Amino acid sequence: MKRAFCFVTLVAVAAAGCAEQRHFEYPVARKGDVVDTYHGTKVPDPYRWLEDPDSPESREWIEAENKLTFGYLEGIPQREKIQKRLTELWNYEKYGTPYKQGGRYFFYKNDGLQNHSVLYTARNLDDEPTVLIDPNTFSEDGTVAMSDYAVSDDGKYVAYSVSEGGSDWIEWRVREIETGRDLPDLIKWSKFSGASWTKDGAGFYYSRFDEPSGDEALRSLNEYNKLYYHRLGTPQSADELVYERPDHKDWGFSGGVTDDGRYLIISVSKGTERKNRLYYKDLSLPGSEVVKLIDVLDAQYAFIDNDGPVFWVRTDLDAPKGRVIAIDTNNPDRSHWKEVISESEETLRGVGLINDTFVGLYLKDAHSQVRLYNLDGSDAGEVELPGIGSASGFSGKRSDTETFYSYTSFSVPSTIYRYDFETKTSSLYRQPKVNFDPSRYVTKQIFYTSKDGTRVPMFITHKKGLWKLGNNPTLLYGYGGFNIPITPSFNVSNLVWMEMGGVYAVANIRGGGEYGREWHQAGTKLTKQNVFDDFIAAGEWLIANGYTKSEKLAIYGGSNGGLLVGACITQRPDLFGAAIPAVGVMDMLRFKDFTIGWAWMSDYGSVDNKDEFEALYAYSPLHNIKEGTSYPATLITTGDHDDRVVPAHSFKFAATIQAAQAGEAPTLIRIETRAGHGAGKPTTMRIEESADKLAFLCRELHM
């Protein structure tokens, strides 16, 4: 492929642009004759065979697509320079927030370009830390990663989980902290689970699924979750089954031991819906039964801590933006529940209890606020943050006098602070040194109006002194689902984009968790179209206000955000110059048939219901691609063995849009091997992928 380059002045580009003639020969994808019928509607699925990523025909197609895509990407002259700059900026020390347990501090650190952050431990903050677990030793290519860890109460053991090839499946192992020696204990077929130790350090609770049959581990449905207890020194086959519900295949269980060691708190969920039941088991009574404290799925109930039999719980019951209540388990009737912290105008996203003080993490227009409350709910002040950004961390126990938190924004790398409850002051603990000048960039938050009149916030970041002549390359990011808020954060790839003269915008659209339960529900099931309307309106606002124009506007999103991008380019192909849907949910009629996809019905709905099928079919990216349409330049990305959003979504979408494309813009798919949904991806792979995405945008937006 040859590319014609135009060297013209800024004014000439603004007036005329830079045109070229291109033709892409896409790999041949056989069209089958599969047709499904939903409520009387016949829906063809010609690329059903691509749902098996390991069939010879699929492997041949994958290889051919990658040959085309990587050949195109490697031919972009700017790519090498982009990757070099990404590598330079990525190479800085990155620290996680310290966590104290058993008389030790634990924290992650990455020297800069290590594929994975290393877990360190130290007795005191001033001591030279020692390496506890180095995931970089797990594999030569960095595709085996550490997912999570949990330290026993006495600081003697750490249970840690490992995933391979980006899979959601994890294996739990146990390491003796003092010696660094791994015990023979091994737990398999766990997924979406943490580990929680009993007070005596004899073992821990975890959740798992049954072992899948044959080679179906990456595609078969994940159902009938179970909660187990593993005692150290025993085989997994001897683990105690604590709780299961064979009558509810879609229920999930997570177990956590209270800090006083007395109770096992069991959160019972159904899919990804932000509602749960709350059960508990009294561990001080041998053989005690599981008590169903809250056995209705009417709200979210997040256990905070307990004072003997009194449980403090964060909930959105009768409070869409969240509040804190106290439940006396000796008198658990709802009429006796007491409100401790009432609902406020801001959204309560989390609560901790440290130094006998409630630490409330709030969102105000998608950026963090941290408020403190006494045990009776009275105001105890606020943790002052450095600016408009995102704060996280704040772990600790009721007896602790300190905690640590991280703060980040679009131009501030994650910086670690120590908060002293006795002096009520924050002090800088770890500040990264990145080779750029943050004072050269500016972030502002604007509010725009969506199609139905809803007011939606958007962050816009760029170099200072930007000219708003409607010609700036602009990257618009969004997610809009599962009650997940998108808040300010530092990203090296976005920084390089802005160094190149790009504008970076984040639209806080409905479906997310920025404004609590109602904001989330306004972008689910039959109202999911609101999410796409919000995102399209964000793009229109950026154009109308002189930031960019359609030819210079790119959109990007991953997972549910990949669905967002796919839906927007099929609904408004004229509005965007480029699109990058990453690991997206593209087939809205079959998502529930793979791995954990059934759990997303709480957000998307189900084809089993006629009205929800009609809504899904109306926006499903795969099913709304139209022959003879000029689609924007599109780079689809996925992992060939993503076991969360299976790659069939991206495979079928790519084959369909390539066959339908009437314009000259490329519609390519980049398929990463030995990679999954994104978690645990090594640094080398992340830099290469970022370089490819930026090079793609650089070329297609004529930068």
Residue 407 burial by Cβ neighbours in a 10 Å radius (0-12, 13-18, 19+): buried
The tokens for 658 are 């390539």
Residues 6+ apart with CB under 8 A from 667: 24, 26, 631, 633, 634, 636, 654, 657, 658, 661
| Residue corresponding to tokens 């050269």 | 440
**Could you say which of 117, 196, 559, 620 is catalytic?**
559
Q: What is the DSSP string of 128-175?
A: PPEEEE-GGGS-SSS-EEEEEEEE-TTSSEEEEEEEETT-SEEEEEEE
Contact present, 26 and 658 (Cβ < 8 Å): yes
Candidates 300, 323, 302, 310; CA nearest to 260 is: 310
For residue 227, what are the CA distances in angstroms to 191, 230, 465, 601?
Answer: 11, 10, 56, 23
Contact present, 217 and 166 (Cβ < 8 Å): no
**Could you say which of 230, 641, 649, 677 is catalytic?**
677
Distance (Å, whole) CA 602 – CA 598: 9
Candidates 628, 642, 698; CA nearest to 672 is: 642
Candidates 293, 336, 299, 298; CA nearest to 316 is: 299
Distance (Å, whole) CA 111 – CA 432: 11
Distance (Å, whole) CA 417 – CA 368: 15
Q: What is the DSSP string of 446-466?
A: EEEE-TTS-EEEEEEEEETT-
Sign of CA dihedral 183, 186, 192, 197: negative
The tokens for 547 are 């930031």
Identity of residue 376: D
User: How many beta carbons lie within 10 A of that of residue 23, not counting itself?
Assistant: 7
Phi-psi domain of 483 (left: phi exceeds 0; alpha: psi -120 through 50; beta: other): left
Q: Respond yes or no: is residue 269 known to be catalytic.
A: no
Q: Which residues pair with 38 in a beta bridge?
A: 41
Residues 6+ apart with CB under 8 A from 43: 35, 36, 37, 589, 617, 623
User: How many beta carbons lie within 10 A of that of residue 391, not counting itself?
Assistant: 20
Distance (Å, whole) CA 36 – CA 27: 26
The tokens for 507 are 């639209």
Q: Respond yes or no: is residue 559 known to be catalytic.
A: yes
Contact present, 410 and 489 (Cβ < 8 Å): yes
The catalytic residue positions are 559, 677
